[in-house]
């Protein structure tokens, strides 16, 4: 049995030609997403397993004022990225398109992930949606999410009404 390569673990890809040993430290979110598609029983077809999309690997950390999410999106056009944010969750979707000018027979090794991918990250604290920023530099997507300061207090002065 062969362990998954670094790139297979990074992208969640699977080399179908090789068997691999399940890495116990590999987290559940790096495994490829699959669904069972049930064929019409009238024509006698069996169930088939078909891949839906890959999952991004992410780093999520905090500073005193922000939650930061970093992920590699090399080869993905900025227009092909879709980032949805709520107060407690971020979803990153996109697609990496392969240029099909090389025949599959001419490849010696093929590990890069091509196609649609997504990742949803549950945030450890509420964030200010309006202050969120996303930047990309050299294939690294960085999302900066300002935390909501629940400890922040202010004094409210009572004014006399005009009555």
CB 67 within 8 A of CB 147: yes
Question: Which of 17-21, 117-121, 141-145 shows the lowest per-residue confidence on average (mean pLDDT)?
Answer: 17-21
Query: Domain-by-domain residue ranges, the chain?
Result: 2-146
Beta strands in 1-129 (DSSP E): 2-3, 20-21, 34-37, 48-51, 54-55, 58-62, 66-72, 82-86, 89-96, 115-122
Over 80: is that where the pLDDT of 78 sits?
yes
Over 80: is that where the pLDDT of 58 sits?
yes
| Interval 15-29 mean pLDDT | 46
Q: How confident is the model at residue 25 (pLDDT cuts 50, 70, 90)?
A: very low
Percentage of the chain lying above the pLDDT 90 cut: 33
What is the CATH architecture of 2-146? Sandwich (2.60)
Contacts 24+ apart (CB under 8 A), 10-15: 10/57, 10/72, 11/54, 11/57, 11/111, 11/112, 11/113, 12/54, 12/55, 12/57, 12/113, 13/54, 13/111, 13/112, 13/113, 15/111
Q: What is the pLDDT of residue 101?
A: 80
Over 60: is that where the pLDDT of 52 sits?
yes
Average pLDDT across the chain, whole number: 76
Over 60: is that where the pLDDT of 43 sits?
no
Q: What is the pLDDT of residue 10?
A: 59
Residue 75's SS3 state is: coil
Residue 156's SS3 state is: coil
Over 90: is that where the pLDDT of 3 sits?
no
Model-level pTM greater than 0.85?
no
Q: Please name the residue that has the structure tokens 């009572």.
A: 158
CB 34 within 8 A of CB 16: no
| Interval 106-128 mean pLDDT | 87
Residues 56, 31: Cα–Cα separation, whole Å = 10
Q: How confident is the model at residue 16 (pLDDT cuts 50, 70, 90)?
A: low
Over 90: is that where the pLDDT of 92 sits?
yes
């Amino acid at each position: 049995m062969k362990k998954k390569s670094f790139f297979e673990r990074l992208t969640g890809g699977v080399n179908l030609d090789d068997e691999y040993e399940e890495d116990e430290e590999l987290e559940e979110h790096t495994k490829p997403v699959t669904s069972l598609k049930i064929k019409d029983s009238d024509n006698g077809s069996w169930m088939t397993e078909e891949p839906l999309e890959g999952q991004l690997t992410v780093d999520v950390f905090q500073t005193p004022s922000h939650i930061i999410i970093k992920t590699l999106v090399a080869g993905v056009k900025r227009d092909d990225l879709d980032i949805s944010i709520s107060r407690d969750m971020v979803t990153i979707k996109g697609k990496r398109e392969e240029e099909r000018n090389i025949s599959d027979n001419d490849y010696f090794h093929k590990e890069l992930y091509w196609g649609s991918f997504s990742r949803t990250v549950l945030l450890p604290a509420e964030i200010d949606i309006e202050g969120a920023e996303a930047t990309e530099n050299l294939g690294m997507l960085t999302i900066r999410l300002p935390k909501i300061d629940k400890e922040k207090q202010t004094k409210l002065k009572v004014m006399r009404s005009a009555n």
